Chains A and B, each alone.
Chain A
Amino acid sequence: MPPLREFQSVVRVAGPILAVSGIDDAGYNEVVKVLLPDGTIRAGQVLESRKGMAIVMVFGGTRDLDCDITAVRFTGRPMTMPVSKEMLGRIFSGSAEPIDGGGSVVPEKEMEISGYAINPTKREFPQDSIETGISAIDGMNTLVRGQKLPVFSGSGLPHSFLAAQITRQARVRGTDESFAVVFAAMGITHEEARFFIEEFSETGARAHAVIFLNRADDPAIERIVTPRLALTAAEYLAFDLGMHVLVVMQDITAYCEALREVSAAREEIPARRGYPGYMYTDLASLYERAGRVKGRPGSITQLPILSMPDDDITHPVPDLTGYITEGQIVLSRELHRKGIYPPIDVLPCLSRLMQGGIGEGRTRADHASVSSQLYAAYARGRRLSGLVAVIGDEGLTDVDRLYLTFLDRFEHEFVGQKRDEGRSFDETLDRAWELLSIFPKDELRRIDPKYIDDYYRGGTG
């Protein structure tokens, strides 16, 4: 047994941070147990270590701590979590304590929650497209297994419905491999948490879901570990057990705020809007845990959800996220107000891995050019509708009017769908052709003529 390293020498408490004096050998990132005067125990982690001093972040917050009785026990190991297949179907707190009334998990393995970077040469390039049943995603921003595709949303927008619908409908054509859902809630309301749990229960997804809940009234600093626990569980399921795991993380903005809180308490020099300069690196250490590994059957696909403060896509959280993730799905308040569900504004959306996942043998040969044409037509329609708002529609040409018709039908019939409506790739593409056939053939400049012959449904135009 190593000597007990317990210190009763808390010298400073500031925000979520405390300083312990007298310790010479605290390991960087080492886990500590903070023993409160009333006997409760909170977990913490060493952020900085020097001779005679350790700076510790306390996940449960520093309420009720004092400088006399509080003791800090250094465990000498990095933060780990027990993992097991039994985690499926269970609900845990934001720090991996079971909160569904069941007993603790019998571990098959202890894993470090910070994870290790996948060696880029060992990555398998993701190419299996996932059919989410949502046309705006499948048709124009196809998701593939191993991708990280965030949903940029705003308060009051139906991102939870969308995430639940994707979770329910997602499948890969022609396979019935074992899959799992890992849901990490960070700072979401009880209401939203309950919605997800009920949704999972109703659809039978509960049995193969692992849920981690840090709700809005749970300690904020705990949010820093919640996604890491979830991703560690996901890595175990994917790379040890060979399952296809979809990780839903909500809300990344709450996570980043926790990060900012710790940074501010440490008096670090902030970058933009008070967020720490290392936030890019920190977010990357979460998002980059998506992927596939050569020679292992499983995969981790991430669907992080974040709310853009004031719908501002240039806010540091969506901005840094977009630079790391392989695209983004952006929800629009305007479409939501028009009553369109899901209110996906396809123009700023992107799926970087789409090209590898679509086409002949994967989805359909015409997929790439149809998507490109939809983008071009919708962008032009939007520009024209802006013009009409200023000058009225008298000056428009006949072709221009077709674009306005397209704009309206596209939003309602292609983007818009029911909450329980799943469309196959074929259905989505056929629907696209129906809309594109509004135009005469020679307007479809982005489509290879051979596909026009096969799929065009308009007149001879």
Chain B
Amino acid sequence: MTESSIIRITGPVVEADRMRGAQMYEVVFVGKDELIGEIIGLQNDTATIQVYEDTTGITPGESVKRSKMPLSVELGPGLLEMIYDGIQRPLTELGEISGDFIVRGVSAPALSREKKFHFTPSLSEGDEISGGAVIGSVPETKQILHRILLPPNLSGMVERIAGEGEYTVEETILWIRDATGTVQELTMLQRWPVRVPRPIQSKLPAIRPLITGQRVIDSFFPIVQGGTAAVPGPFGAGKTVVQHQLAKWCDADIIVYVGCGERGNEMADVLRQFPALVDPKTKEPLMKRTVLIGNTSNMPVAAREASVYTGITIAEYYRDMGYSVALMADSTSRWAEAMREISGRLEEMPGEHGYPAYLGSRLADFYERAGRVKTLSGEEGSVSVIGAVSPPGGDFSEPVTQNTLRIVRVFWALDADLAHQRHFPAVNWLLSYSLYSDLVAPWWEKHGGSEWGKMRLDLLALLQKESELEEIVQLVGPDLLPEEDKFTLNVAAILRESFLVQSAFDPVDTFCPPGKQYRMMTLIHRYYRLGRRAVRGMTAAEIQKLPVTARLSRLGPMPHEEFESFYTKVYDEIVNAFPGGED
């Protein structure tokens, strides 16, 4: 057979001939530097390849080698605490090989081949097992027990299993006789093609909120474990800070953070902060539950396209062990743009705004990999996906935002005006929504209090009322409003400044436990309800001057321990401040 060779190069897209037999999405090695690429089009014996590295200097005539494998990730113990590029090359290890800058043609295995893990088998010889069965386990970190699973497509009888001991990921730990009678040898290292969702038994309905410690999210627009959310916003509205806050404080077991086409200094910030921050639940450094994928904006565009798939496959792998996993993708717009760039080079007929016609289906495929599931081994696991969207000019009518909104069930709309006033998180309460609020109400009623659902609706209605009144104020000025409406505006201001504003940089306020959220909500709600009754006898200005009004500002930064007694005191004060008291 004659060797395949390059016939055309245009940016990250390369065409090669004599490729008969090659498959779509097969990985190939391009040119004399053997740059990693993936086949994205076939015509007769010509293949179109997207190359995951810079193609500078490649000439027609150089060879293309086939791997006969689809683009896959390595799965096994040792993924946690790693930082990878979009095609799972370990960046720390690359740095050791090639220095401070990323050069072409270097690679290193995604999982360490030398490191030994303590493996404990959970099967015995003669066991009949099928895909997804737990072979054994490895304590990957103090908190995370890494379960080694039989690959989904395999089943048979255990011929032999390694005893408890220290093994590298390449040593055989299981010999299994499959249906054809051949014995297959398995290691802890497994591979899975990134574009194929890992199989499950069934999807389950979501029931439990994913607690993030961010008040506007948990209390007003909650997301569930296994849910999907989108955070669109113009630049400077704080998408990345929201994503970082969720990655830091949400109560998932595992975090996969995909920095897709974003800033290098932001990744440096994550790498600086995460090892130092402590998970409130486990008291371990946050890094110990995190896998980072960093394909910054100046790294090759095709690898950016692959990065979200790499991330979600790793997330599914931990889900299959029975963990709740949260994946943050920042930003899916850069991913969509990478698709557009590749599509443009392929001279495909464009859809809206130059994006390929398959944009919507690709986004849907990606978000549909989220969910709470029953795994093959019968465990429960979940993958929650939170995608940032960067609409050009902050215009939510553009195709990426619109296609995303058709799929996701939570929408946190970030607002430039709020950001300009330094109201962070700049989640616009009128535009945002969550379709999970009814689902999580039972949880909140159990862990917060029985009035959660009602208070939430009352307070959202208060904000809606505020915006209507603001329009009137724009026309007639504030002093013509009835006292009751003036009071409404005052309470809405308290709700915004004291409850919705939450500083990510304040050591206390950065994470607000659900109990405190509920109590803060209760205080404001009670003040609102009793005050509204009292305002028939008092003016809004008089109420504003009550000492209890001032106590409602700066609730967030108050240390959680002090808040408990403060709450009881202020609750009574509110009841006593207004004539009529508790109803």
Binary per-residue interface labels of chain A (354-394) against chain B in the complex, 1 for a CB within 8 Å, 0 otherwise: 01100000000000100110011001100000010011101
> Given A120-B296, A147-B265, does the pair A314, B341 have CB atoms closer than 8 Å?
no
Chain B hits for A121, CB < 8 A: 83, 91-92, 95, 267, 271
From A97-105, A193-201, A284-292, the one touching the partner chain is: A284-292
B264 contacts A by Cβ under 8 Å? yes
Interface residues of B in 433-468 (CB under 8 A from A): none
Chain A-chain B contacts (Cβ-Cβ < 8 Å), number: 230
Chain A hits for B272, CB < 8 A: 125
Are B301 and A27 in contact, CB atoms less than 8 angstroms apart?
A: no
> Given A319-B235, A350-B236, does the pair A375, B422 have CB atoms closer than 8 Å?
yes
Are A326 and B263 in contact, CB atoms less than 8 angstroms apart?
A: yes
From A167-175, A178-186, A242-250, A269-277, the one touching the partner chain is: A269-277
Are A120 and B271 in contact, CB atoms less than 8 angstroms apart?
A: yes
Interface size range on B against A: 35 or more
Residue of B with least CB distance to A293 = B100
A117 contacts B by Cβ under 8 Å? yes
Are B83 and A268 in contact, CB atoms less than 8 angstroms apart?
A: no
Q: What's the Cα separation between A34 and B337 when bound, in Å?
A: 34
Among A50, A281, A348, point to the contact of B236 (Cβ < 8 A). Answer: A348
Smallest beta-carbon distance A204→chain B, Å: 31
Per the CB 8 Å criterion, the residue count for chain A at the interface is 89
A14 contacts B by Cβ under 8 Å? no
Are B505 and A281 in contact, CB atoms less than 8 angstroms apart?
A: no
Smallest beta-carbon distance B562→chain A, Å: 15
Interface residues of A in 7-40 (CB under 8 A from B): 24-30
> Given A271-B340, A324-B297, does the pair A278, B236 have CB atoms closer than 8 Å?
no
Are A395 and B477 in contact, CB atoms less than 8 angstroms apart?
A: yes
Smallest beta-carbon distance B5→chain A, Å: 9
B500 contacts A by Cβ under 8 Å? no
A154 contacts B by Cβ under 8 Å? no
Q: What's the Cα separation between A146 and B263 when bound, in Å?
A: 12
A296 contacts B by Cβ under 8 Å? yes
> Given A24-B60, A119-B101, A323-B390, does the pair A288, B11 have CB atoms closer than 8 Å?
no
Smallest beta-carbon distance B82→chain A, Å: 10
Chain A hits for B264, CB < 8 A: 117-118, 120, 123, 288, 291
Q: What's the Cα separation between A287 and B477 when bound, in Å?
A: 46
Residue of B with least CB distance to A50 = B8
A109 contacts B by Cβ under 8 Å? no
Q: What's the Cα separation between A49 and B58 when bound, in Å?
A: 9
Are B392 and A289 in contact, CB atoms less than 8 angstroms apart?
A: no
Binary per-residue interface labels of chain A (256-282) against chain B in the complex, 1 for a CB within 8 Å, 0 otherwise: 000000000000111110001110110
Are B296 and A117 in contact, CB atoms less than 8 angstroms apart?
A: yes
Smallest beta-carbon distance A9→chain B, Å: 16
Are A270 and B354 in contact, CB atoms less than 8 angstroms apart?
A: yes
Chain B hits for A116, CB < 8 A: 101-103
B431 contacts A by Cβ under 8 Å? no
Residue of B with least CB distance to A23 = B60
A445 contacts B by Cβ under 8 Å? yes
Q: What's the Cα separation between A163 and B132 when bound, in Å?
A: 61
Are B421 and A123 in contact, CB atoms less than 8 angstroms apart?
A: no
Are B416 and A118 in contact, CB atoms less than 8 angstroms apart?
A: no
Are A314 and B100 in contact, CB atoms less than 8 angstroms apart?
A: no
Binary per-residue interface labels of chain B (28-59) against chain A in the complex, 1 for a CB within 8 Å, 0 otherwise: 00000000000000000000000000111111
Smallest beta-carbon distance B390→chain A, Å: 5
B68 contacts A by Cβ under 8 Å? no
A421 contacts B by Cβ under 8 Å? no
Most buried by A among B102, B259, B265, B480: B265
Among A291, A319, A392, point to the contact of B393 (Cβ < 8 A). Answer: A319
Chain B hits for A315, CB < 8 A: 393
A237 contacts B by Cβ under 8 Å? no
A418 contacts B by Cβ under 8 Å? no
Smallest beta-carbon distance A341→chain B, Å: 22
Are B268 and A119 in contact, CB atoms less than 8 angstroms apart?
A: no
Chain A hits for B298, CB < 8 A: 117, 281, 284-285, 287-289
B474 contacts A by Cβ under 8 Å? yes
Interface residues of A in 49-64 (CB under 8 A from B): 49-51
Chain A hits for B60, CB < 8 A: 24-26, 49-51
Smallest beta-carbon distance B152→chain A, Å: 33
Q: What's the Cα separation between A27 and B554 when bound, in Å?
A: 62
Chain B hits for A123, CB < 8 A: 264-265, 267-268
Are B479 and A379 in contact, CB atoms less than 8 angstroms apart?
A: no
Are A29 and B56 in contact, CB atoms less than 8 angstroms apart?
A: yes
B497 contacts A by Cβ under 8 Å? yes
Chain A hits for B476, CB < 8 A: 391, 395
Q: What's the Cα separation between A395 and B472 when bound, in Å?
A: 13
Most buried by B among A28, A281, A287: A28
Chain B hits for A187, CB < 8 A: none
Chain A hits for B350, CB < 8 A: 269
Binary per-residue interface labels of chain B (92-119) against chain A in the complex, 1 for a CB within 8 Å, 0 otherwise: 1011001111110000000000000000
Chain B hits for A277, CB < 8 A: 337, 340-341, 344, 354
Interface residues of A in 104-154 (CB under 8 A from B): 114-126, 146-147
B204 contacts A by Cβ under 8 Å? no
Binary per-residue interface labels of chain B (70-101) against chain A in the complex, 1 for a CB within 8 Å, 0 otherwise: 00000000000001000000011011001111
A397 contacts B by Cβ under 8 Å? yes
Are B341 and A281 in contact, CB atoms less than 8 angstroms apart?
A: yes
Are B59 and A328 in contact, CB atoms less than 8 angstroms apart?
A: no
Chain A hits for B176, CB < 8 A: none
B334 contacts A by Cβ under 8 Å? yes
Chain A hits for B421, CB < 8 A: 347, 375-376, 379-380
Most buried by A among B350, B422, B497: B422
Q: What's the Cα separation between A28 and B53 when bound, in Å?
A: 13
Q: What's the Cα separation between A272 and B391 when bound, in Å?
A: 12
Most buried by A among B263, B269, B394, B419: B263
List 19 A-B pairs, Cβ < 8 Å.
A25-B59, A28-B59, A30-B57, A51-B60, A119-B91, A121-B83, A123-B268, A281-B337, A284-B297, A287-B298, A288-B298, A319-B392, A350-B419, A352-B236, A376-B422, A387-B473, A387-B474, A391-B477, A396-B479
Known: A281-B301, A445-B554. 12 other contacts (CB 8 A): A25-B60, A49-B59, A50-B60, A51-B8, A118-B264, A120-B268, A120-B271, A121-B91, A125-B272, A270-B354, A350-B419, A394-B477
Binding site for A on B (CB under 8 A): 7-11, 15, 54-61, 83, 91-92, 94-95, 98-103, 234-236, 259, 261, 263-265, 267-269, 271-272, 294, 296-299, 301, 334, 337-338, 340-341, 344, 347, 350, 353-354, 390, 392-395, 416, 419-422, 473-480, 497, 505, 550, 553-554, 557
